[in-house]
Copies of this chain bind each other. A is one copy, B any other.
Amino acid sequence: MGRKSKTTVRRLPKRGRYDSRTLHAILDEGVVCHVGFAVDGQPYVLPMSYARDGERLFLHGSVASRLMGHLAESVEACVTVTLVDGLVLARSQFHHSMNYRSVVAFGRARAVREPEEKRIALRALVEHLVPGRGDDSRPPSPEELAATEVVEFPLHEASAKVREGPPGDATGDLGLDHWAGVIPLDQVAGSPVAAPDLKDDIPLPAYVRDYRRPIEDARQ
C-alpha cells in the first residue's frame, strides 16, 4: 500500500501505521465500514457491510439503490473502518481520548458485474461476518444476483491509525486527585436467537455457538 501524501497521517504521526498486516487485521475485525462520496457537492456517509479480498474490499447493495448506483459509477470515495477499544480517562479533560484502530482508504469503486465474480463477492460478504456460513447457506439465484449491485474498492491508498495504552497527562497533572485509566470496550456476541420459523430438527452450528470477534481468536 503506497504511502502517498493523502494517506500520510499528519496529526500525531506516531499513531500512523502503513503495514499491510496492521491494515488487514483492522479490516478483518470490523463489521461495518463507512463509505463517503459526494453527489452534486453533497457528501454522504453510509454504513455498509464489506469483505476484504486481498487488496480490495467488496461492498454491495440493491441495484435499486440510488447511492449504490453513484458508487458504481467510480466516483472518488473514501472508506473508513473504526474499532473502538477503550475510553481513556485522563486527569485533564484536555487529554481525554479513545483507544481505537482505524483504516482510511481512498479510491474509486468499480462495479463487479460478471456473475461468477459477484457470487464470489457475496459469499465473501457472508464469510466476513460469520466464517463457516458461506457453505451453510443457499447461494444466490440468478435473479438475486441480478438484483444485487456489487462493487470492489481498492486498498492501494490506505493508512491506519492506532491509539493504545494509558492516558497521557502532563507531568504537572499527575498529582491531581482524579482517577485516571482506561475503560476497555469490546464487541461481544450474545446468545444466538433462533428464527421463530426455524425447523425443529436443525441444531445450532458450532460456528454460531462459538462466535466471537475478532475471528482469529475464535479459531485458536
A residues sitting closer than 8 Å to B (CB atoms) are 6, 10-11, 31-32, 34-38, 41-47, 49, 61-62, 64-66, 76-80, 82, 84, 86-87, 89-94, 96, 98, 100, 102, 104, 106, 122-123, 125-126, 129-130, 133-134, 136-141, 144, 147-148, 166-167, 169, 173-199, 202-205, 208, 211, 213
Q: Is the CB of B77 within 8 A of A43?
A: yes
Query: Top 5 closest A-B pairs, CB basis?
Result: A184-B190, A36-B36, A36-B45, A34-B34, A47-B82
Question: Min CB distance, A76 to chain B, in Å?
Answer: 6
Q: Is the CB of B34 within 8 A of A82?
A: yes
Q: Is the CB of B137 within 8 A of A87?
A: no
Q: Is the CB of B183 within 8 A of A133?
A: no
Q: Which residue of B lies closest to A148 (CB)?
A: B94
Q: Is the CB of A179 within 8 A of B203?
A: yes
A61 to B97, CA, bound (A): 11
Main secondary structure on chain A at its contact with chain B?
mixed
A184 to B42, CA, bound (A): 34
Q: Is the CB of B87 within 8 A of A129?
A: yes
Q: Which residue of B lies closest to A90 (CB)?
A: B137
Q: Is the CB of B104 within 8 A of A11?
A: no
A77 contacts across to B, CB distance below 8 A? 43
A189 to B183, CA, bound (A): 6
A144 contacts across to B, CB distance below 8 A? 92, 94
Q: Is the CB of A138 within 8 A of B173?
A: yes
Which of these, B79, B92, B133, contacts A138 with CB under 8 Å?
B92
Question: Min CB distance, A197 to chain B, in Å?
Answer: 6
Q: Which residue of B lies closest to A62 (CB)?
A: B11
Question: Min CB distance, A65 to chain B, in Å?
Answer: 5
